[in-house]
Amino acid sequence: MAAIGIIGCGQNGTEHARELIALGAEIVACYDPMHASAEALAAETGAEIFASSDALLASPLLDAVYLTTHHDSHKPLTIAAAKHGKKIFLEKPMAITEADCSAIVEAIDHSGIGCFTGFKFRYYPLVQKASELITSPTLITAHVLDMRWPDEGWANDPVRGGGNVISQGCHAIDLVCELARSLPTSVIADGGNLHHPALAIWDTLSLTIRFVSGAIANVVIADAGASPVTSKFSVQLFDGERSLHLHDRLTQLSYVNHDRATSFTDVSEAGYREIDRAFLRWLDDETLPHPDHYAGYRAQMILFRAIESAQRGAAVTLA
């Protein structure tokens, strides 16, 4: 039975803990600077509450640690976990600055311990079905459109959360890269702050990614309001003969092959459970982490280069 520690006992940490227990893992340790959150998780899971993240990471009881904290804490926590030799599940986004992302990758690579990035959308059943139906898309469109985030929310804080584009956009970027099955080569974008003038954040971004395969992906990220038709998350794939649309939070799939239409439904939203299942497999048999820390890094770098493109008014090459 895998012994897991949770640092960050809010909604994400609690959801992961529940799924891990259902999959047969044991939550043996937890820490949160908000002690009430740690107490609530400990009461539910039986985990020991640690007085600090350092004390938890130094514990010999742990096989691995989940880092489900505010984004600005990801760098110091990941570096500390790597130094202690703990395998890591790092919630998205990897970090909200380029320097922090680079430091995280360097620490993980140096330690050799490996890291999962929390891109749960890859594990939605209908996302995997879409990847089977259209294996070489030439055009992808995607959006993550949310209701307006409150100015006072931590995820909109320029330091702790980075705002909608940086905090949430990585989900869409990772998903289109995964479905394109090709390396991104350039990005061109426009956007800015359209709804939060008091905050130094980006809340709207429209970008186009070009891939080695020749495929193009158009992605829109904003908290301008959720679509009344397709919902917050929407992805479409086209290959010249076939097309499909993932919508209703990726629980509905509409597929057209020439003139024949088919629909699929899976309302389980099983992303949490399936990515946690994959993490436990990695602990058990040393399969490669998927998605790994390079996926987390790639998604953030594309967003940073897209913002650079919007500021410069020109396409930017992706290294």
Quick: pLDDT tens for 74-105: 999 999 999 999 999 999 999 999 999 999 99
Q: Mean per-residue pLDDT for 34-63?
A: 97
pLDDT at 196 over 80: yes
In the chain, domain spans? 3-118+272-289, 121-269+301-317
Class of domain 121-269+301-317: alpha beta
Task: Check if the beta carbon of residue 179 is closer than 8 Å to that of residue 257.
Answer: no
Which pLDDT band, with edges at 50, 70 and 90, does 287 fall under?
confident
Task: Check if the beta carbon of residue 116 is closer than 8 Å to that of residue 289.
Answer: yes
pTM of the model as a whole: 0.96
CATH superfamily for domain 3-118+272-289: NAD(P)-binding Rossmann-like Domain (3.40.50.720)
pLDDT at 12 over 90: yes
Measured CA distances, 182 to 33, 93, 150, 206 (Å): 41, 21, 36, 20
Sign of CA dihedral 127, 131, 132, 134: positive
Give me the percent of the chain exceeding a pLDDT of 90: 96
Distance CA 30, CA 21 (A): 14
Which of 184, 176, 204 has the alpha carbon at shortest distance from 192? 204
pLDDT at 319: 85
Give me the percent of the chain exceeding a pLDDT of 70: 100
